Structure 1
Amino acid sequence: MKKFENVVQLIDNMTNRQLRNDYNQADYRKVILPLTVLRRLDSVLEETKDDVLSAYDGMQEPLNEYQSEFLCSISGERFYNVSRYTFQRLLDDQEHIGMNLRNYINGFSQNALDIIRYFRFEDEIERLEEAGLLYEVISEMAGINLHPKAIGNIEMGYAFEELIRRYSENVEAGQHYTPREVIELMVKLLYIEDEDELSERGIIRTMYDPTVGTGGILSEGLEQLNQLNPNGKLELYGQEINPETYAICMADMLLKGLDPRNIKFGNTLSNDGLSGKHFDYVIANPPYGDNWSKAKKAVEDEAKLGFEGRFGAGVPKVTDGSLLFLQHMIDKMKPDGGRLGIVLSGSPLFTGGAGSGESNIRKWMIENDYVEAIVGLPNQIFYNTGINTYIWILTNKKPEQRQGKIQLIDATNEYAKMRKSLGEKRNYITSEHIGEITGMHQGLIQNGRSKVFDNQDFGYYRVTVERPLKENYTVTEERLQRLKEQKAFNKLEEEKQNEIIAGLQSMDGETIYHNRDTFIEALNNAVSGIKVTAALQKAILTALAERDEEADPVIDKKGIVQPDPNLRDYENVPMKDSMIEDIEAHMQNEVLPHVPDAWYDPDSIKIGYDIPFTRHFYTYEALRPADDIADEIRELERDIVDMMGGLFDETIRNV
């Protein structure tokens, strides 16, 4: 069993023993997450605890900056605790366990205390006291060794995420914690173009995650850079909206000796906590299909700024903010060269037709040559969802061989089955699979699993195709009844209505007019003594008309053929050469052979972009021959007859 799995199992066993009868399972996290963070901090400070207390002796509160820095130097960390208690020492006084635990928590340095307060643990301390559980819970947690020598920072990060997953089975839609192998793959795809630079001595780079969660993605980025270059430095930044995961991430930063102030709290879409800062690497797994209505006003206000803000390319439907996060992340890349990795569902690939917010965002990204590659991942690799997911890799500084190109990699079959499922996670990506995928990306390989396209291949013109309005006109009782339902006719006084009806009834009901102008001339003669406004004439024509393919096209006063709204259609014309040439060729080859009287409206043309990932890797499988299917059916019929015969024989013997 891996170290983090062992730790999680110990904590889970304790939770089930101590909390089951007094807490709903959904509330376990309110106790377990802050206690695990506290125990981790406690374990880290354990060796230097007495030295810190000796140094603190005689100091007066509040401590000044120099005193705090001195105590940090004694603890060997970016934080300290000046309470005389530890988890182990809390057990010496069972009667006052609550008061002493509060004293212990308040003894942390301000930066650690600020983190702990995000858990709002005070309410749970009181609840545990009232239930008589506090001493037992602290006692069991004190027995779990969370010292970095027992479980390293990476493994501890796994443990936190597994605890969150385990106690969050009803996690909100879209909040899917990222499997480690997916993070590893995404970071490798980010670093792969920069490996030479990242190997240089003294290199300093920055990485930012706008939906940082517990910080697992940033931790993997740091780990991989350390493997590439032990002398390199990666400064980590992020923002998180959930107070619990934010606190865990901040604690992890403290424990790594990094600056937790680089992690901001709040909604990234409505309030960029790192406004004005840009980064070498931007990486995230934002919520899928997440409703962003709470940030709607702020987002729409910023969108009005155009590209002076983050959302100048467009605003998607409020039901899915994925493309807002992607725009934000592009904005956060360093202007002189940054790389971006993001995990998304399939929706951002194709949702929204030409002219929609989603399509306009894709148009902006592709026409600015930001999209480098998209990797289709296996399904059932996330803990809380089985949907298809994709890693997008973007950059604002493509190498020459990739300029104007987008690589699609189908890695949907690059997985192994897990021995035991974890929630929805039944598959995982092995190291060998990661090597295969990164190899195809690095080599810009073209084969059955990797294809390279021109940017233009994903663009199209959406064209409105019209067909002429053709109607016949005549006067029948049925059509006169329709006239009485027309709004313009109903507004008339009853006397005038009767005059018009009488005039129309004077027309030859046997005559069917196939030309509108001819009918209007006959109509004017029939109601010559009555003033007919344009609105009233339109109502009469609408009521007395029926579509008729044999009729003449309707032509307006300017001699322009009028389109039939009921026959209006739309064509998506792939981009190839130039707009007019592409559309004209499409009309000649695809439309006019079927409807020779069709035309397109030049003013209706919209440019759209989508990325039909699955279609590009679809392989047709021929249907089985009918004779083979028939033979199989006959074989099944023979088997059924034999089974029934045996059943009847057994019944007869029993009788």
Structure 2
Amino acid sequence: MNQNLSSFIWSVADLLRGDYKQSEYGRVILPFTVLRRLDCVLEWTKVAVLKEYDKRKAAGVNPEPFLRKKSKQHFYNTSPLDLKKLMGDADNIRENLFSYVEAFSADVRDIFDCFDFHNQVQRLDKANLLYLVTEKFANIDLHPNVVSNEQMGHVFEELIRKFAEISNETAGEHFTPREVIRLMVNLLFIEDDEALTKPGVVRSLYDPTAGTGGMLSVAEEHLAQLNPDARLVMYGQELNAESYAICKADMLIKGQDVSQIVLGNTLADDGLAGQQFDYMLSNPPFGVEWKKIQKAIQDEHKQQGYNGRFGPGLPRVSDGSLLFLMHLISKMRPAKDGGSRFGIVLNGSPLFTGNAGSGESEIRRYVLENDLLEAIIGLPTDMFYNTGISTYVWIVTNRKPKHRQGKVQLIDASGLWQKMRKSLGSKRKELSDDHIEQITKLFGKAKAASTTDADGQQVPISRIFKNQDFGYQTITVERPERDSKGNVVKETKGKRKGQPKPDSSLRDTEDVPLAEEIEAYFEREVLPHVPDAWIDHEKTKTGYEIPFNRHFYVFKPPRDLAEIDAELKVVTDRIVEMIGGLSQ
């Protein structure tokens, strides 16, 4: 059913061929699909809505709340026209189509503005295609009693994917692979299954980088399977106007409220300022610089400190990933009000970039010292459409269950994947249902676990650490300056007067694990090698890093030397034989 319907809708491309590039088809097909769906959804309440509109207008009352009630939807349309009626006046189709779209409620008009629908209609009209395209859509039956909200959502998603694939833009700018979202949603809800299955439960979900709304949709589907009576109220913000339009349209098509989906730059201008949520999901752009919004971010950091979103520190301008992490932390409900949990996909650099005292290290320090990090899951490479790099899912919460408090779980899922039948951009691997279940179970058990590799060797796949295991103190080791005779030069003034003067060319640093005494470490590791050294305690800094791969590295001893020699002998004998053959 879905396949046939989306193929039928996509057949409009045959009309566009020649006048539109292939990569532009979606600009026509997506808004017209939305328009026809809304047209069909409102059909059976249209008479009642128009009657109510005239009545309230005559009374000089704001008709909006009454019209929503009459339409039994989150939107309405006050035009006597619909797509079928537009067909009856071919000469004025452009003007009539404009007036029909203008008569929708504000949220729907916003979607068509972001689709740049006005210009597409002008362009179709100029190419003498407007009537033909509108007719094609007017003849598709997208009534909810024929195509359910869920089916319509899948059709629309398929169209988005097709459009992204044939567009020159990378699909990854719009999409997070569905199976990655399913994994994240599993991890997000797993410890709350009991609460989420109570009748009439209402929870909020937020995505600050909503894209085309994939994370919100999959989370809603998952919760509906757990508990059909549960309601997930969805919130989101998206920077790209077209992705924003698609997200809102997709939700509207499924009968969801879109009033809390906002257009704009989440970091520079939080469209949902002051709001907090039960659950959050995000796949922010990897390694993208934030130079354009640097002033706004720095001003908030300096002026608001911990009352704003960026209190702990700021990462380097070349990568804004950790800004999104802090933004999500600022959106968490206080633990006393039920707390929050979120999942965010990050690349490798937020795990370890930056020395002690740097913005990145201070952000990690804040997360770990406040016991917010529950787990990090290392995903396989080649999982995303626009990059083949290693990626990591961070699960962050301020309501850890008792057995997880003070601890962090690391799961190495980089070996859990299957090859895709057909690559999509950089995406060559995918997670199967079994892989998702395996990772979810590892997370759920919250215990150390191993697996057997291809060589039959036991390798760790899940490890549990204390928060402080990722902390260290960077100490500055000084050594004295000496004169030409080798005598120690002394300080002549200041608070160190009479003490050895440090030689900056001999200055060094050491990283001491947080769990270890600095002096004991210094006596054991430094003094035996440089007996004249001392620590400048004023320069000591605390740092945090999560060297994920190091914790899963398994040493494999090199092969026996005799075995390597034997192999080399075979190769050299063969070369000698070949040379001999050439000289004959």
What band does the TM-score fall into relative to the shorter chain?
0.7 to 0.9
The percentage of counterpart residues that share the same residue type is 49
Deviation at 1:326, TM superposition (A): 0.9
Give 2:73's match in structure 1, choosing from 53, 61, 77.
Answer: 77
The alpha-carbon distance between structure 1 residues 59 and 455, as it changes in their structure 2 partners (threshold 3 A), is: closer
The alpha-carbon distance between structure 1 residues 3 and 381, as it changes in their structure 2 partners (threshold 3 A), is: farther
The alpha-carbon distance between structure 1 residues 73 and 623, as it changes in their structure 2 partners (threshold 3 A), is: same
Question: TM-score, normalising length from structure 1?
Answer: 0.78
SS at match of 2:276: coil
Q: Which moved more, 1:616-625 or 1:133-142?
A: 133-142
Alignment of 1:273-422 (within 5 A): 273-304=271-302, 305-336=304-335, 337-422=339-424
Residues in 2 aligned to 1:616 and 1:158: alpha-carbon distance in whole angstroms: 39
The alpha-carbon distance between structure 1 residues 9 and 462, as it changes in their structure 2 partners (threshold 3 A), is: farther
In the alignment, structure 1 segments of 5+ residues that lack a partner are 473-513, 515-550, 650-655
Q: Which moved more, 1:198-207 or 1:288-297?
A: 288-297
One-letter amino acid of the counterpart of residue 340, structure 1: F
One-letter amino acid of the counterpart of residue 356, structure 2: A
Give 1:130's match in structure 2, choosing from 114, 126, 150.
Answer: 126
* Structure 2 counterpart of 1:575: 514
Alignment of 1:446-465 (within 5 A): 446-447=448-449, 448-465=460-477
Alignment of 1:81-100 (within 5 A): 81-83=77-79, 85-87=81-83, 90-91=86-87, 93-100=89-96
Residues in 2 aligned to 1:296 and 1:249: alpha-carbon distance in whole angstroms: 27
Deviation at 1:632, TM superposition (A): 3.0
Deviation at 1:374, TM superposition (A): 0.6
* Structure 1 counterpart of 2:535: 600
* Structure 1 counterpart of 2:446: 444
SS at match of 1:152: helix
8 Å CA contact retained: 1:8, 1:163:
no
One-letter amino acid of the counterpart of residue 465, structure 1: V
* Structure 1 counterpart of 2:455: none
The alpha-carbon distance between structure 1 residues 140 and 624, as it changes in their structure 2 partners (threshold 3 A), is: farther
CA RMSD of aligned residues (A): 3.0
Q: Which moved more, 1:100-109 or 1:299-308?
A: 100-109
Give 1:202's match in structure 2, choosing from 200, 203, 212.
Answer: 200
The alpha-carbon distance between structure 1 residues 639 and 11, as it changes in their structure 2 partners (threshold 3 A), is: farther
Deviation at 1:36, TM superposition (A): 3.5
Deviation at 1:210, TM superposition (A): 1.4
Residues in 2 aligned to 1:75 and 1:55: alpha-carbon distance in whole angstroms: 6
Give 1:37's match in structure 2, choosing from 27, 34, 37.
Answer: 34
Residues 406-433 of structure 1 show CA distances to partners (whole Å, capped at 9, x for unaligned) of 0001111111111111111111111111
Deviation at 1:28, TM superposition (A): 4.5
Give 1:629's match in structure 2, choosing from 551, 564, 568.
Answer: 564
One-letter amino acid of the counterpart of residue 362, structure 1: R
In the alignment, structure 2 segments of 5+ residues that lack a partner are 450-459
Question: TM-score, normalising length from structure 2?
Answer: 0.87
One-letter amino acid of the counterpart of residue 99, structure 2: N
The alpha-carbon distance between structure 1 residues 28 and 586, as it changes in their structure 2 partners (threshold 3 A), is: farther
Residues 173-231 of structure 1 show CA distances to partners (whole Å, capped at 9, x for unaligned) of x8462111111111111111111111112222111111122222112222222111122
The alpha-carbon distance between structure 1 residues 247 and 555, as it changes in their structure 2 partners (threshold 3 A), is: same
Residues 316-342 of structure 1 show CA distances to partners (whole Å, capped at 9, x for unaligned) of 112222111111111111102111111
SS at match of 2:157: helix
8 Å CA contact retained: 1:340, 1:393:
yes
* Structure 2 counterpart of 1:490: none
Residues in 2 aligned to 1:420 and 1:340: alpha-carbon distance in whole angstroms: 31
8 Å CA contact retained: 2:56, 2:63:
no
8 Å CA contact retained: 1:374, 1:409:
yes
Residues in 2 aligned to 1:238 and 1:138: alpha-carbon distance in whole angstroms: 31
Give 2:46's match in structure 1, choosing from 46, 52, 71.
Answer: 52
One-letter amino acid of the counterpart of residue 387, structure 1: I
Deviation at 1:267, TM superposition (A): 1.6
The alpha-carbon distance between structure 1 residues 165 and 639, as it changes in their structure 2 partners (threshold 3 A), is: farther
Q: Which protein shows a greater Rg?
A: 1
8 Å CA contact retained: 1:175, 1:288:
no
8 Å CA contact retained: 2:315, 2:360:
yes
